[in-house]
Structure 1
Amino acid sequence: MKPAEIRALVRLKPPELRPGVRRLASAHDIDGLRSAARRASPRPVFDYVDGGADDEVSLRANLDAFRRRRFVPRALAGVADVDATAQILGRSSALPLVLAPTGLTRMMHSSGETAVAASAARAGLPYALSTLGTTSIADLAGSPHGELWFQLYIGHDRARTAELVDEAAVHGYGALVIAVDTAVSGRRLRDTRNGLTLPPALNLKSLAGIGIRPGYWLRMLSSPGMTFPSLHGGAAPARGLTGAATWFDPSINWTDVADIRRRWRGPLLLKGPLGPADARRAVEAGVDGVQLSNHGGRQLDRSAAPIDLVAAVRAEVGPQATVIVDSGVRNGADIALSVALGADAAAVGRAYLYGLMAGGEAGVDRALGILGSEFRRTMQLLGVTSVAELRAQGPDLVL
């Protein structure tokens, strides 16, 4: 073969000199973004996102539950054109996907929730702000965003809890998601070992791990101090972390859900490890749907993988109630599996946080782009051309 012919076959890509761009370009799936996030973040910060409760049995089982399922695709289905849009709580979404709420988001990257909201808007997906978010309800609504939801932790301070519900309504949040799996906080041993507790108790090893990530700290030091504005209406930074530890109330019950249902006029979801009986009770109480979740394996260890609950919950609540599933979603095929089993959508937290840690807003774009591409390809390979068809044909497509 002549040199000119070799040059025509082998096109060398010029090296990318910008570390952030290079880091994202080398990540071809969510696991790749996870590796990039580990390299870019201090160890305690990465472990906070990556870890789970106690022995992390649920953390591993969530992933395994998706991977043990098998598809049975339809052949010769004519899949040149596919429509990946979905209806979630009566509104159109570019994918059957929701960006789940996460706490301490500005700890992962200084751009925090505003970067995630902007990326979600570009992707045409709903994004839920957490009560433990580091951006206020009003500030996020005032930044570039698409469909916003608010995830509510019912706290000891019921008056402040009611104020949060009202604030979300005033600022146009499209849905309220009540988390019911945090009566007490789970025991996350990685955080305990790293000293990332409330209040923080960092050890020398953790401090050394933090010190070798100067880029991370330059961003953090040039940004405003991190607080939890929803907890105390914009309290001083000193109260922020301490207040988070005392917010949760183990006495919450179904009466609290009924009170919030009367107060909140928009779509209402219950989020937690709900079995069929609790899901039915939620719908009977006027809730519009459920988000099946074990908090990504971060609360009750050894709890059931939410994907394994989807079919039974759907059978119990009927076709009209909204069912969303999270915990373990790392691939577009996981989203397809969720819909095929009966969910309206899947939700991701760690998947976009890995992107945020690896490259800020551009990293979230990368994560959502990967998931969308994988989902559309899975649809085509399954032989379906719409999300509605995937849902209808689901029982025949999954073993």
Structure 2
Amino acid sequence: MIFNPHKYGVHKFLQKIPLGAVFDAPYKARLKKAVNIADLRLIAKSRAHKMVFDYLDSGADDEISLRRGKDAYSQLEMHYKILAGIKPPLDLRTKIFGQDVNLPFFGCPTAGNRMFHWEGETAAAKAAEHHGTMYGLSSLATTGITEIGKIHNGPKVFQLYVWKDRELVKEVLAKAKEGGFNALALTVDFTWYGNRERDIRNDFSIPPKYNLKQTIEALKKPAWTWDFLSHEPYTYACINTEVPADSLAAFVNSQIMPEFSWKDAEWLLGEWNGPAAPKGVVRPEDAKKAIEIGFSTIWVSNHGARQLETSPATIDVLPSIREAVGPDVEIILDGGVQRGTDIAKAIALGADSVGVGKPYLWGLAAGGTEGVIKAYDILKKELDRAMGLLGTPTVAALKKEGPSLIKRRPISSRDYPDIYAPDRGYGGGIV
């Protein structure tokens, strides 16, 4: 372990030196030229510490599920209608957890946003407020519930892991309610840790260890490093704002409850007493069980392909889950979404709304609030174009006519040998 600058208050001195804008200038210029999410990924890769970027970018084991998650969308054709007589603008409004929103997609709750950019969760909340959509906050966020509540006045969903300490759960839920969060997402696919081999190779830690390897990588990325060194060290703010993230990590590890069961979920629903979804459903029978015990919404997800390797692509299991729960149960889907056309396909096949993770986090790592807003802008334009070309003027029309518009084409990823090249962001993009 070498010199820890935060421990000695170096950040308080560096905050007075206005170098951040200088380091970020080339990335801001590239951000303005970005035309798709893959472009944002490349900017994020060039700006962020290698360990941080790989944590965001990776999946479990051989990353088969990560690749399949995107490939599954490429196998779905859009059989559009012609001469639909649609007059712009299209209506992208819908409801998520019963709340009115302007977009049928939103940023999924994700942990530790300040590791990607010093603005962290506040950037994502500002972007959601800017676009009038839902905001999702992780219980392992590096920004507090109260602070988010001051930024985002619209609907908010709070994500919770399966903690052992029920008093901690009650305390966190109470904070979320006080902070204006109207819905709860219980992550149910994280009772064991996924094997993320990029993290192991990079000796990943939150925050970075001050060893020689990480210091060399930090020197290669001056914009990210300046951000990190010139701001307060981050904590898991929703749990304990007094304990640094690195010290709290052991506590988090000890709190995960592998034996969490349906009975525990029923107890949690009683404590929350509001709209709630199990996040991580891929089986129809689990979806039906969740509704039977009191969940209002089903969240189809495989944790971004970061947990169980060769878990199914979420878009592939969506139709069977819709059939199992019927037409009236709300379904949210995430996983593999990197295009507005992906969002359109998900809604057409049974989702009421779509969560995105990597796209907005790449935007965050690329340029803070401006980068997240850019990610939303890109997806909104692509979704609007897709709906217009399909002949569906509203989200409701897309849901109603969707099954007749989307057809599966039996093609393997082997037919596209370069689509998953490491520097192409699962679909290309050069800035």
**Which of the five TM-score ranges fits, normalised by the shorter chain?**
over 0.9
Corresponding residue number in structure 1 for 2:93: 85
2:243 aligned partner, one-letter code: A
Q: Counterpart of 2:76 in 1: which secondary structure?
A: coil
Find out whether 1:182 has 2:186 as its counterpart. no
2:158 aligned to which of 150, 157, 165? 150
Q: Counterpart of 1:371 in 2: which secondary structure?
A: helix
Distance in 2 between the 1:294 and 1:226 partners? 27
The change in CA–CA distance for 1:202 and 1:249 in structure 2 (over 3 A counts) is: farther
Find out whether 1:271 has 2:279 as its counterpart. yes
1:33 aligned to which of 33, 40, 55? 40
Distance in 2 between the 1:57 and 1:205 partners? 28
For the 8 Å contact 2:157–2:182, the answer to whether it is kept is yes
User: How does 1:134-149 map onto structure 2 within 5 Å?
Assistant: 134-149=142-157
Corresponding residue number in structure 2 for 1:217: 225
Question: What is the TM-score of this pair, normalised by structure 2?
Answer: 0.85
Corresponding residue number in structure 2 for 1:67: 74
Find out whether 1:132 has 2:140 as its counterpart. yes
Give the unaligned 5+ runs of structure 1: 1-16
The change in CA–CA distance for 1:237 and 1:72 in structure 2 (over 3 A counts) is: closer
Shift in Å at residue 18 of structure 1? Answer: 3.7
Identity across matched positions, percent: 38
Distance in 2 between the 1:204 and 1:84 partners? 50
Q: Counterpart of 2:386 in 1: which secondary structure?
A: helix
Q: Counterpart of 1:230 in 2: which secondary structure?
A: coil
Corresponding residue number in structure 2 for 1:290: 298
Shift in Å at residue 85 of structure 1? Answer: 1.0
Q: Counterpart of 1:269 in 2: which secondary structure?
A: strand
Distance in 2 between the 1:30 and 1:238 partners? 31
Find out whether 1:321 has 2:321 as its counterpart. no
Find out whether 1:121 has 2:129 as its counterpart. yes
Shift in Å at residue 61 of structure 1? Answer: 0.8
The change in CA–CA distance for 1:349 and 1:87 in structure 2 (over 3 A counts) is: same
Corresponding residue number in structure 2 for 1:389: 397
Find out whether 1:348 has 2:356 as its counterpart. yes
The runs of 4+ residues in structure 1 deviating greater than 3 Å are 197-207, 231-234
Corresponding residue number in structure 2 for 1:373: 381
Corresponding residue number in structure 2 for 1:208: 216
2:344 aligned to which of 336, 347, 355? 336
Corresponding residue number in structure 1 for 2:104: 96
Distance in 1 between the 2:224 and 2:206 partners? 21
For the 8 Å contact 2:65–2:311, the answer to whether it is kept is yes
The change in CA–CA distance for 1:200 and 1:184 in structure 2 (over 3 A counts) is: farther
Question: What is the TM-score of this pair, normalised by structure 1?
Answer: 0.92
For the 8 Å contact 2:110–2:137, the answer to whether it is kept is yes
Distance in 2 between the 1:241 and 1:224 partners? 18
For the 8 Å contact 1:194–1:202, the answer to whether it is kept is no
Shift in Å at residue 201 of structure 1? Answer: 6.0
Corresponding residue number in structure 2 for 1:51: 58
Distance in 1 between the 2:176 and 2:75 partners? 39
Distance in 2 between the 1:379 and 1:234 partners? 47
Find out whether 1:42 has 2:49 as its counterpart. yes
1:25 aligned partner, one-letter code: K
2:317 aligned partner, one-letter code: L
Shift in Å at residue 203 of structure 1? Answer: 6.8
For the 8 Å contact 2:128–2:152, the answer to whether it is kept is no
Q: Counterpart of 2:273 in 1: which secondary structure?
A: coil
Q: Counterpart of 2:259 in 1: which secondary structure?
A: coil
Aligned length: 383
Find out whether 1:302 has 2:310 as its counterpart. yes
For the 8 Å contact 2:113–2:142, the answer to whether it is kept is yes
Give the unaligned 5+ runs of structure 2: 1-23, 408-431
2:200 aligned partner, one-letter code: T
The change in CA–CA distance for 1:203 and 1:64 in structure 2 (over 3 A counts) is: farther
